[in-house]
Amino acid sequence: MKIEVIVATILFALSAIPRAKGQMADQTFGSAGVKISYIEAGKGEPVILVHGLYSSAQMNWTAPGTFKQLAEHFHVIALDLRGHGNSGKPTSEDAYGQPMVEDIVRLMDHLKIQKAHIVGYSLGGIIVMNFMTRHPDRVISGTLGGMGWLRPGSIQQTAFERTAGREAGRTPPACVHGIGKLAVSQTDVTNIQLPVEILIGDQDPCKRLYVEPLERIRHDWPVIEIADAGHINCIVKAQFKDELTKWLIKNSK
């Protein structure tokens, strides 16, 4: 069995374990009629963590220890995207895409946060890129984990629009279709005036598909390769957590 499959299996199992008494409890709020679940801990500048497709805050951020490590320095908030985890799961096509970005804005408003460091992994990285183009005034810094640039008209965008999704899964297929709507133009990307870092596994195919096209137009955004990491196991690597922590501290005010 490949190491990435093993890691994914372990993370999924950990995410399914009920939280023990005394651990962080999920909180919720209504975002345009959809329940959004989130957890928070720590003090300091706010950091919002956005997980990947078919994942959750617990699977991507709590189980690998990233949430705990960051909470030693920051006020950390990790949400379950709509269609995932303990958040609501609308089935209509118009409920996904840009509404997933706006959920973060509404979460910040709910918590009375004006600006935050926004960190995304995989699908979360696509959302963060879109967020920075739409709401730059709400961002202190951006981190694209396991992701780069989803380009309009690209094969990747078309693939999201056409994929059938996992009919038997908890995440509605409409969510997958909506990802293509989050593509941003080259002009949008070049106009971003924010500190941005990319964390990508050195064996992650997303490096060629999403990161290399981004590097050609944003030479100023550092790309940190995580050693011996693919797309699934990158987030459990100590280097990933340490590089992310170092980046956020560097860009704190």
Statement: residue 98 has pLDDT above 70: yes
pLDDT digits (tens, 9 = 90+) for 127-179: 999 999 999 999 999 999 999 999 999 999 999 988 766 555 689 999 999 99
Higher-confidence residue of 217 and 23: namely: 217
Instruction: Report how far apart, in Å, the C-alpha atoms of 168 and of each of 59, 152, 210 are.
Output: 19, 29, 28
Q: Determine the pLDDT at residue 17.
A: 41
- Mean residue pLDDT of the chain comes to 91
Return the percentage of the chain with pLDDT > 70, whole number. Answer: 88
Say what the pLDDT of residue 244 is: 98
Burial class (CB in 10 A: 0-12, 13-18, 19+), 161: middle
Strand partners, 226: 201
- Rounded mean pLDDT of 55-68? 97
Q: Of 9-23, 82-96, 167-181, give the range with the top mean pLDDT.
A: 82-96
Predicted local confidence at residue 11, as pLDDT = 43
* pLDDT at residue number 14: 41
With b meaning 16 or more CB within 10 Å and e meaning fewer, what string describes 163-186? Answer: eebeeeeebbbbbbbbbbbbbbee
- Whole-prediction pTM: 0.91
pLDDT in tens, 102-118: 999 999 999 999 999 99
Residues 6+ apart with CB under 8 A from 168: none
β-bridge partners, 27: 38
Per-residue pLDDT tens for 22-32? 346 789 999 99
Note the pLDDT of residue 161.
Answer: 84
Average pLDDT of the segment spanning 81-100: 96
Please report the pLDDT score of residue 170 as a whole number: 85
Supply the pLDDT for residue 136: 98
- Residue of 150, 152, 146, 157 whose CA lies nearest to 223: 146
User: Radius of gyration of the chain from Cα atoms?
Assistant: 17
Name residue, tokens 């941005």: 196
Confidence of residue 242 (pLDDT cuts 50, 70, 90): very high
How far is Cα 79 from Cα 104, in angstroms, rounded to an integer?
A: 8
Choose between 12 and 90: higher pLDDT. 90
DSSP state of 20: P
Cβ atoms of 240 and 151 closer than 8 Å: no
Residue 185's nearest CA partner among 231, 127, 240, 133 is 133
Of the listed ranges 91-95, 146-150, 163-167, 236-240, the one predicted with least confidence? 163-167
Structure tokens at 165: 């999704």
Distance CA 81, CA 64 (A): 18
pLDDT band at 241 (very low <50, low <70, confident <90, very high): very high
- Average pLDDT on 209-231 reads 98
- For position 6, what pLDDT does the model report? 36
